Structure 1
């Protein structure tokens, strides 16, 4: 294997993270739905990276409730339909050329809302994992172009087909997140192995 490297300057650093659909509450009480792909979890806190000018970031500064929905790989087309849409009017200058205002993002993407249990924004029906949460911190990032949100998860909803029967564990063999890898969509491949800390190892 060649161990030499080349120095590159990519425009983006999306090296492979799960796609998330966020639902938040607009000032008029309606719902905003937005795709994003910079998220990671630590304990029961999910950290999100959002564009500072988007409707989601504006909503969370005054209305901290949200739902973090994780779509399945086969839902990538619905996710991509959301990509050029914004809940801000007028459209912020920082948005990509071709972005347009859309008040009904669920309808435009072909997705359906379903009620949440503990927060006002709805869940996205059909997403195998849905986390009802509250933003406990919303702050600018180092560049000033984004905001970093720390969201404390309050309720986890899981499709029973991806839960190990009789447990509280997601079955990693049954669940495949939609991955955004350098602006391309992927699912997972075959399992290569497991951590020594895994609680869902299948004995063969």
Structure 2
């Protein structure tokens, strides 16, 4: 069961859809979808939810604000974490109290969004995730890899726009603070490369 199903406790036991690459030459079913419009809507929602979150938690020091995604289902979970929360969780999970083991656990858990102190900030809102889903293709799944990458680029660009808007200015940040948009089971390096590429393209 994927991370999003565990979070909500639903998926009705359905079997995961086949996500194998489509036949060569098959056009993406969402090739003509207006991703720019989706980006605008998602950016507005992220900025709204982040500004409200910072107003309530501005005294804490954060090392990241990230969007935890599952591109197959079009899931968007706005998340944030502090170094203090990371250290606390690493101590809980560490096999020993040694500094070496705790440091190793910290590095393993740093980008494990499911263990973050503030995971799925947008789910605490009255509308929850529904507003975000309305900005996306009206489909249960995005099986085509081109659609899934377009989704990831759309959300990444939206997060970059939030950063550029100044919405994060009121947040206390570590010197190595970064924003990130990462797909479920995607390697950190892949997400970081996409972020750098799109940041450069938009600058």
Q: TM-score range by the shorter chain?
A: under 0.3
Greater relative contact order, per chain length (Cα 8 Å cut-off, separation 6+):
2
* TM-score, normalised via structure 2 length: 0.26
Query: Which is richer in helix?
Result: 2
